[in-house]
Amino acid sequence: MYFYRNIDTQLLNWKQSELRKPALIYGARQVGKSSALKKFGETNYRKVFEINFMKMDDADSIFNDGKDIGSIIKNIQFYLSDSFDPAQDLIVFEEVGFSEKALTTLKFFSEDAPEIHIVATGSNIGLYRSFPVGKVEWMPMYPMTFSEFLKATGNEVLTDAAELPVDQSVPEIAHQKLMSCVQDYWFVGGMPEAVEAWVSYPVTQPLERVRAVDKVQADLIKGYETDFGKLSKDHEVSTLKLKRIYASMARQIASEEDGNTPKFKFKGTLGNTSVRYEDVVEPIDFLRDLMVVHKVHIFEGINASYNMDFQVEENKFKLLPHDVGILTKMIGVSYQDILRGKDAYKGFIAEVFVANEMISAMVGNSRIELNSFKRGNTSEIEFLFEKQGGFIPVEVKSGKSIRSKSLNAFVERFSPKFALKFTANNVKNSPERVIQQLALYRARHAYRECFGDIAEEKELLSLMIPNSR
């Protein structure tokens, strides 16, 4: 079963581009890279020549005759016992991170044979510090976004409402249905196999679909832990440390009584009390490079005269999982708990949901970082962005409470151009308001419109139009 993914459009645009380079799709294991590429290849090419460098032990033999593209193509044909037509066929290098030769070869395809269509995938690309810089088109891939989930579950009609501009209101009937779908997504998450398990049973068989998702998620978590062992061997990182930090992330999130995601604590993380930042930084970076966790820096104080990068304190941060469904499984939150709306966990689930929605709209490498703000024990802003020399706060509320003591204090002190607050409410905003309140499911599009590609396009157009007169 194949579900529409946002990368489908990216790949089609890549194929049609006259400035095409080899494409590199990178993301955590099991987020759907191979499925998307298979669908793209079957739909748009005569044949797909696939070489999997993780599964095929002798795959590196195609490079035995050197870096000449002609020789590599001949060896691919011999290896797969088929004839290659550059005008009609696609070459796929699966898990290219398991072959340094394959990763390096992308540069030569870019320079010497740009007419050949070649796409590589990788789940461990971030572990390498040497890349064919400027020679590939990077395509990050994450678990399915909420909008992709809506399409997969037969709710495609709701995506238009979820992706309305910030200054437009969502019809109340659509809002109620979208919030119901948000609850489903908080349980299922965006891992394609879990989504497939969910849609494989009708709504009239709730127990069966819940059990199917539970099993898939348990298998995925076990698979990640197995991957830690496989991938850490060549990088001198302790498998045990990776597993303990990954488990500690979820355990620390679940133990926070106020429902917010806490600062990551080092003490006890590795089985003893005397743990320093230096003891955990390498395995944490490893997990980030595998794109299974995200780091959120905590600013306990901030100087508006300097940018945030200059003020980062490396040892003060939160760790968030890359998928909200994986989180709910790791901490033992059931579908029934979500439907009951227990306040004890809703805060951090909403925060992880919003974080991953925004991250999915970002362009960058495997170490995308977010920022947050905290002052003492009374003031906390979940996310903080920079825009045109100022700080823009983003607050997340899991329920319908409109109290925003921390956000109001931040706005009063720093006078941001605008601020965003995500809640379960459906509010009609006014352009005159500094704080724009939006429903949780609007996080991804709001990020694009306020900080991402839509915002960038608007800014360029506003600068170009006066100059064209």
Q: Which of 373, 83, 107 is nearest to 93 (CA)?
A: 107
Q: Which of 207, 214, 205 is nearest to 333 (CA)?
A: 214
Last residue of a domain, one of 140, 158, 179: 140
Q: Average per-residue pLDDT in the chain? A: 90
Q: Are residues 416 and 280 in the same domain?
A: yes
65 pLDDT higher than 60: yes
> If pLDDT is split at 50, 70 and 90, which confidence band does 309 have?
confident
Mean predicted confidence (pLDDT) in 301-315: 76
Q: Are residues 117 and 165 in the same domain?
A: no
257's tokens: 């009584």
pLDDT digits (tens, 9 = 90+) for 374-430: 887 778 899 999 887 788 999 998 876 667 889 999 999 889 999 999 999 998 888
Max distance between CA atoms of the chain, in angstroms, equals 69
> If pLDDT is split at 50, 70 and 90, which confidence band does 312 have?
confident
Contact 314, 265 (CB under 8 A): no
Say what angle helices 239-255 and 277-289 make with each other, to 10 degrees: 90
* Position 160 in a domain: yes
Q: Are residues 275 and 128 in the same domain?
A: no
Q: Are residues 313 and 166 in the same domain?
A: yes
Mean predicted confidence (pLDDT) in 72-86: 97
Q: Which of 81, 299, 331 is nearest to 189 (CA)?
A: 331
Q: How far apart are alpha carbons 152 and 442 in whole angstroms?
A: 18
280 pLDDT higher than 90: yes
Encode burial over 192-211: b for 16+ CB neighbours within 10 A, e otherwise. bbbbbbbbebeeeeeeebbe
224 pLDDT higher than 50: yes
Greater confidence (167 vs 39) lies with 39
Q: Are residues 233 and 351 in the same domain?
A: yes
* Position 464 in a domain: no
SS3 372: strand
Q: Are residues 131 and 215 in the same domain?
A: no
255 pLDDT higher than 70: yes
Give me Rg for the CA atoms of the chain.
Answer: 23
SS3 298: strand
Last residue of a domain, one of 140, 156, 174: 140
Over pLDDT 90: what percentage of the chain? 72
**Range from 228-237, 247-256, 350-359, 379-388 that averages highest in pLDDT:** 350-359
- Give residue 169's Cα distance to chain centre: 27
Residues 6+ apart with CB under 8 A from 126: 26, 288, 289, 290, 291, 365, 366, 367
CATH code of the domain covering residue 17: 3.40.50.300
pLDDT digits (tens, 9 = 90+) for 180-199: 999 999 999 999 999 999 99
* Position 426 in a domain: yes
Greater confidence (390 vs 70) lies with 70
- Total number of domains in the chain: 2
> If pLDDT is split at 50, 70 and 90, which confidence band does 342 have?
low
Q: How far apart are alpha carbons 261 and 345 in whole angstroms?
A: 10
* Position 469 in a domain: no
Mean predicted confidence (pLDDT) in 139-155: 97
Q: How far apart are alpha carbons 42 and 6 in whole angstroms?
A: 17
Could you tell me the residue range of the domain that residue 51 belongs to? Answer: 6-140
468 pLDDT higher than 60: no
Q: Are residues 226 and 346 in the same domain?
A: yes
* Position 17 in a domain: yes
Q: What pLDDT was estimated at residue 180?
A: 96
Q: How far apart are alpha carbons 187 and 221 in whole angstroms?
A: 15
Mean predicted confidence (pLDDT) in 149-173: 95
Q: Are residues 267 and 389 in the same domain?
A: yes
Mean predicted confidence (pLDDT) in 423-447: 92
71's tokens: 């020789």
Number of helical H runs and strand E runs in the chain: 18, 13
Between 189-203, 271-285, 329-343, 388-402, the lowest mean confidence (pLDDT) is in 388-402
Q: How far apart are alpha carbons 356 and 338 in whole angstroms?
A: 19
Contact 317, 285 (CB under 8 A): no
CA angle, 15 then 25 then 108, to 5°? 70
Mean predicted confidence (pLDDT) in 221-235: 89
Q: Are residues 156 and 113 in the same domain?
A: no
Q: What pLDDT was estimated at residue 159?
A: 97
pLDDT digits (tens, 9 = 90+) for 19-39: 999 999 999 999 999 999 999
Q: How far apart are alpha carbons 56 and 74 in whole angstroms?
A: 18
Q: Are residues 153 and 118 in the same domain?
A: no
- Distances, alpha carbon 139 to alpha carbons 6, 18, 92, 142, in Å: 11, 17, 14, 10
Q: Are residues 10 and 47 in the same domain?
A: yes
* Position 278 in a domain: yes
* Position 465 in a domain: no
Q: Which of 456, 368, 373, 407 is nearest to 28 (CA)?
A: 368
Last residue of a domain, one of 106, 140, 174: 140
CA angle, 269 then 272 then 278, to 5°? 60
* Position 461 in a domain: no
Q: Are residues 204 and 274 in the same domain?
A: yes
Q: What pLDDT was estimated at residue 465?
A: 67
**Tokens 């709001």, residue located:** 446
Q: E strand or H helix at 371, and its extent?
A: strand 369-375
Between 3-7, 147-151, 397-401, the lowest mean confidence (pLDDT) is in 397-401
